[in-house]
Structure formats: C-alpha cells, structure tokens
Amino acid sequence: MFGYVVANLDRLKDGERHRYQAVYCGLCRALGDISGPESRLTLSYDMAFLVLLLSALDKTELAEEKAFRCAMHPLRRRAAFFNRHTRYAAGLNLLLAYYQRMDDWADDRKVSALAQAKALRRRLDEVKPRYPRQVRAIEEGLLQLAGFEKSGETNPDLPAAVFGRMLGEVFVPDNHPHEDLLRAFGDKLGRFIYLMDAAVDLKRDIAKERYNPLVFIQSDRHGDILKVLMADCVEAFIALPILRDRALMENILYSGVWTRYLAQQKGVEGK
C-alpha cells in the first residue's frame, strides 16, 4: 500500500536530489536508533515526504550528519538530514510497516511477511504508547477495510475514504498548529494512494482472487479517477503554508506519485 509518494529523480535538480536522499538516510538512521537495524528494511519514501512536509511547515532546520558509511551502500559516503520530525516519521513508519506485513500474511499467507511482523512486534511496545491517537486510527481503519474486503464492497470511494482518514491522522503530530490543514491533506493523499494501489495491483488481484474495489470499473476510467483524486490532494497541499522545499514536494505530487502507475501501464501496453 505504501511506496507511491516518491520523487521523480530525473526531474530533480542536484541540490534537491541531495536533500531528498539525505532526508531518506536520516529517516533510515532514526529507524535503526528507535527499533534496531532490522527495522531499516521497512523504510518508506512516503515517510521521507512527511519529514519534508512537517519541516517545511514550521521551518525546523534539518541538522546534517556528514560522511557516514551505509552498510547497504558501502561504496560511497552519505549524508543524513534529521530533526524532531524525523523521529516522529520513523515511529509511524514502524507502525505502518508492522500492520502492512500482518495484512500481507492475512491475505497471502506470506511466511516472510509474518516473520518480519514478529521481528517488528518486539519494538512496538516501546513505540505505540507515544502515539495512541495514531495507533487507534490505524487499527480502526484496518478493521474497517477488512470488513469491506470480507463483504466485497464494490464502491471504491468507501474503502478509499477509510484509508484517507487513517493517513490523515498519521500526518498530524499531536498539538500541531496546522492540524486541520494537515489532516485534510493526509486524507486526500490517502484516498489517492489507496486507489492508485488498487489500479496497479488489479490484474494480480484478479489472478489471485483477492479483493480489489476497482474490479467492476472499466480500466480506461482508472486514470481519470486518479487524476481527480490527485487534483483534490494538490488543492489541499496548496492550502498549507509551506515555507521551503516546495519545488521538491511539487515534484513528488505532480510527477513522482505517477511513476509506478505509468510503468505498469507501459508494461500492459507492451504485452
């Protein structure tokens, strides 16, 4: 479900690319600090976007840790940007990763997903008490989504709205001065992500007889549906008082979020 909120690297300037990668590396290091090195495998660019967004809203500086060696990419030294928002995003990354792997286990009985979930569960007792509102929203949202899957709900707006509400809460740290605007943006982005994932996975879900809310909607309409949802998301983004990194985040919302969908469409057309 995650991994769609990414930058189009080909359209980034060199400084933007460095900043984006350094925010991602900072998030990776924060994950390791709060939940152990194995949790770094759950890292998502979606949460790197959240770090950029929260930092841009209050202009919190991104401290830089320079010239460290990464075990995953040992040949080149890397830099990492981090601040108080990095730790928040890392905690929520861990929570979402755990529940996603449990969902993968429930859907496909993937042994690897269950093993990863068990490894992450050991850390959850430390993380969950810090974010009770967000945990409640995630658990309630996933329960509702499971109900839609069980009943075979054919209206895609209903499960998309549930996922939107869930991500809306994830995007709002406690007592944030722009919580209403952030919640609205997270909600719109969540609806888009949910149906983008459904569109990308449609053929695979049909082949495996898994629930997909777009199964009864003609595939040539999917692109238009997604464009309307992203237009709503961009409108909510524009309402936010962004103080920096606007061009980088616009790259993600205007171009990057479409990369997996466009790649999938090209693959379909090539067959």
**What one-character-per-residue DSSP string does 143-156 give?**
HHHHHHHHHT---T
Which contacts of 141-150 are long-range, i.e. CB under 8 A and separated by 24 or more positions? 141/165, 141/166, 142/99, 142/103, 142/166, 146/106, 148/211, 148/213, 149/211
Q: For residue 30, what are its two tokens?
A: 């924060």
- pLDDT above 90 coverage of the chain, percent: 62
Distances (CA, A) of 88 to 65, 181, 254: 18, 18, 25
Q: Which helix (H) or strand (E) holds 15?
A: helix 14-35
Q: What is the pLDDT of residue 234?
A: 97
Please measure the distance between the N-terminal and C-terminal CA atoms of the chain and give it in whole angstroms.
25
By CB neighbour count within 10 A (0-12 exposed, 13-18 middle, 19+ buried), where does 188 fall? Answer: buried
Which one, of 146, 118, 100, lies nearest residue 3 by Cα?
100
Q: For residue 182, what are its two tokens?
A: 């952030």
Instruction: Evaluate if pTM is beyond 0.85.
Output: yes
Is residue 134 within 8 Å of 169, Cβ to Cβ? Answer: yes
Q: What is the pLDDT of residue 69?
A: 65
Give me the residue label for tokens 């995630």.
Answer: 138
Spans of the chain, pLDDT less than 70: 1, 35-40, 66-69, 71-75, 107-108, 267-271
Q: For residue 177, what are its two tokens?
A: 């001065």
Q: For residue 232, what are its two tokens?
A: 């709503």
Q: For residue 22, what are its two tokens?
A: 């350094």
Q: Which helix (H) or strand (E) holds 195?
A: helix 179-207
Q: What is the pLDDT of residue 38?
A: 66
Q: Tell me, what DSSP letter sits at residue 71?
A: S
What domains sit in the chain, N to C, each tagged with a CATH number? Answer: 9-255 (1.10.600.10)
Q: What is the pLDDT of residue 198?
A: 96
Query: Given its phi and psi angles, is residue 70 left (phi above 0), alpha (psi -120 to 50 degrees) or beta?
Result: beta
Which one, of 216, 157, 150, 186, lies nearest residue 54 by Cα?
186
